[in-house]
Amino acid sequence: MLSYQHAYHAGGPADLHKHIALAELLTLLTRKPRGITYMETHAGRGLYDLASDETAKTGEAAEGIAKIDLPDCPFADAVKSIRAMHGETAYPGSPAIAAALMRESDRMHLMELHPAEFKALRINLEGEASIHRRDGFEGVLAIAPTKPRKSLILVDPSYEVKDEYLQVADFTRKLVAKWPEATVMIWYPILEAARHKEMLAALRLPHLVDEVSFDLKDNKGMTSSGLALVNAPYGSEAVFSRTREIAAQVLR
Ligand SMILES: C[S@@+](CC[C@H](N)C(=O)[O-])C[C@H]1O[C@@H](n2cnc3c(N)ncnc32)[C@H](O)[C@@H]1O
Task: Work out the percent of the chain whose per-residue pLDDT is above 70.
Answer: 99
In the predicted model, what is the mean pLDDT of residues 193-199? 96
Q: Which amino acid is at 110?
A: L
Q: Please give the residue range of the domain that contains residue 146.
A: 6-246
Residues 11-63: pLDDT tens digits? 999 999 999 999 999 999 999 999 999 999 999 999 999 999 999 999 999 99
- What per-residue confidence (pLDDT) applies to 1? 64
* Three-state DSSP state, 92: strand
In the predicted model, what is the mean pLDDT of residues 144-163? 96
- What per-residue confidence (pLDDT) applies to 220? 74
CATH number, residue 140: 3.40.50.150
Q: Is residue 157 part of a domain?
A: yes
| Ligand 1 in reach of 2 Cβ (< 6 A) | yes
Residues 20-31: pLDDT tens digits? 999 999 999 999
| Ligand 1 in reach of 43 Cβ (< 6 A) | yes
Q: Is residue 252 part of a domain?
A: no
Q: Is residue 121 part of a domain?
A: yes
**pLDDT band at residue 84, thresholds of 50, 70 and 90?**
very high
Is the pLDDT assigned to residue 165 strictly greater than 80?
yes
* Three-state DSSP state, 127: coil
Q: Ligand 1 centroid vs 33 CA: distance in angstroms?
A: 30
Q: Is residue 118 part of a domain?
A: yes
In the predicted model, what is the mean pLDDT of residues 235-241? 98
Q: For residues 4, 6, 224 and 232, what is the CA-based torsion angle, rounded to 10 degrees?
A: 110
Number of domains in the chain: 1
In the predicted model, what is the mean pLDDT of residues 222-236? 96
Is the pLDDT assigned to residue 212 strictly greater than 90?
yes
Q: Ligand 1 centroid vs 156 CA: distance in angstroms?
A: 7
Q: Ligand 1 centroid vs 51 CA: distance in angstroms?
A: 21
**Please, which residues have CB within 8 angstroms of residue 185's CB and are 6 or more apart in sequence?**
21, 22, 25, 152, 153, 154, 155, 227, 228, 229
Q: Is residue 251 part of a domain?
A: no
- What per-residue confidence (pLDDT) applies to 45? 98
Q: Is residue 1 part of a domain?
A: no
Q: Whose CA is nearest to atom 12 of ligand 1?
A: 42
Q: Is residue 130 part of a domain?
A: yes
Q: Is residue 228 part of a domain?
A: yes
Tell whether the torsion through CA atoms of 70, 73, 79 and 85 is positive or negative.
positive
Name residue 211's beta-bridge partners: 226
User: Residues with catalytic annotation?
Assistant: 156
Q: Whose CA is nearest to atom 13 of ligand 1?
A: 42
Is the pLDDT assigned to residue 82 strictly greater than 90?
yes
| Ligand 1 in reach of 135 Cβ (< 6 A) | yes
